[in-house]
Amino acid sequence: MIFAGSHILSVEQFSRADIEQIFAVADSMEPYALRKRVTRVLEGAILGNMFFEPSTRTRVSFGCAFNLLGGEVRETTGFKSSAIAKGESLYDTARVLSGYSDVICMRHPESGSVAEFASASRVPVVNGGDGANEHPSQALLDLYTIQKEVTAKRGSMDGLRIAMIGDLKHGRTVHSLSRLLALYDNIEVVLVSPEELAMPERYVDALRSAGHKVVISSELNHSISRVDIVYSTRIQEERFESKEAADVYRGRFRLNQSIYTEFCQPNTVIMHPLPRDSRSDANELDNDLNQNPNLAIFRQADNGVLVRMALFAMILDVVGQVEAHSREVNWYHRRNGM
């Protein structure tokens, strides 16, 4: 199986074929995530869930994915009291911690730290986010969500049209997602942001040189009228040079139901990496979208569990054994889907 014993550090390491295989495995995880069946395939295995930067939902999502495969989770949260904070090298930390588990998921505030850690680890390492750099499982779950949402509607990922909205300069998720989208054919990406927060040129160039169409805009409404996917991210106002600069754009990238009704296609899917800031000065996706069946933000989070289960099953090379170690669920479980 691909990725058996491998680190998962960057979206750059995936081919389109790799991704299709990951997504096929993710699909096969659905009965376990939906609690139709239980599998114990990783009973006795240990995940070291090492979060040197807090991120409740990513941490719990990884831990839950490992539990759903039958494994145990040991974890840490925070950095201040860690040995790293006391001057230990990432090399030492990795040598030690990799003696404690079968696979490690690591999050760390510093760009490049997880790769450095992985190079000294004796067990496979999954990058759970290293600063501004990478968060590959987030990119995979975004792409997996896009595929699930649009293939029913349009049959294929190729030819997809997607608008990315908000802070495209600092947004790790849109950078990684654009890398993955470039692996498909004939994608159209509409980049909607204030000029100050535009997508860095290297990502734009990479898309264009792979033959995709990139449209750049600083106006929301007409940018979302022809797309299959609206991928919204938060604009943090402190990113601007001055309050005045921020005020110019205040509210211009916020989507709500009336804008959706007026400008979007009837089936346009709305995504967001979450958390969505519901305070009045943020509110990039209004709560009045909550009843819109095309709001896919919570399905995104659910898909994260499937993708992470797939990664663990592939890294630990148990994909073919999952079903053989499974049985019916014997407790009450939600009947409604994810």
Q: Measured from the CB of residue 31, what is the shortest distance to a copy of itself in angstroms?
A: 12
Rg, the chain, Cα only: 20
Given candidates 30, 72, 110, 196, which one binds a copy of itself under the rule CB under 8 A? 72
Given candidates 13, 56, 119, 156, which one binds a copy of itself under the rule CB under 8 A? 56
Dihedral sign for Cα 155, 159, 163, 164, please. Answer: positive
Considering only the stretches 137-145, 204-212, 257-265, 294-302, report the one whose residues sit in contact with a copy of itself under the rule CB under 8 A. Answer: 294-302
130 touching a copy of itself, by CB under 8 A:
no
- Contacts of residue 151, defined as CB under 8 A and 6 or more positions apart, other chains included, come to 157
Other C-beta atoms lying within 10 Å of the C-beta of residue 58: 21
30 touching a copy of itself, by CB under 8 A:
no
Dihedral sign for Cα 88, 90, 92, 97, please. Answer: positive
Active site residues: 57-58, 86, 107, 135
> Which of the residues 311 through 330 are near a copy of itself (CB under 8 A)?
315-318, 321, 329-330
Q: Measured from the CB of residue 163, what is the shortest distance to a copy of itself in angstroms?
A: 22
Given candidates 27, 30, 237, 277, which one binds a copy of itself under the rule CB under 8 A? 277
> Which of the residues 80 through 99 are near a copy of itself (CB under 8 A)?
81-83, 86-89, 91-93, 95-97, 99
Q: Is 112 left (phi over 0), alpha (psi -120 to 50) or beta?
A: left
109 touching a copy of itself, by CB under 8 A:
no
291 touching a copy of itself, by CB under 8 A:
no
Q: How far is Cα 317 from Cα 8, in angstroms, rounded to an integer?
A: 14
Other C-beta atoms lying within 10 Å of the C-beta of residue 86: 8
- Contacts of residue 193, defined as CB under 8 A and 6 or more positions apart, other chains included, come to 164, 165, 166, 167, 168, 169, 199, 218, 235, 253
Q: Measured from the CB of residue 42, what is the shortest distance to a copy of itself in angstroms?
A: 6
46 touching a copy of itself, by CB under 8 A:
yes
Given candidates 26, 45, 114, 227, which one binds a copy of itself under the rule CB under 8 A? 45
Indicate the residue among 265 and 283 with the shorter CB distance to a copy of itself.
Answer: 283
Please identify which residue in the block is written with the tokens 């290297």.
Answer: 202
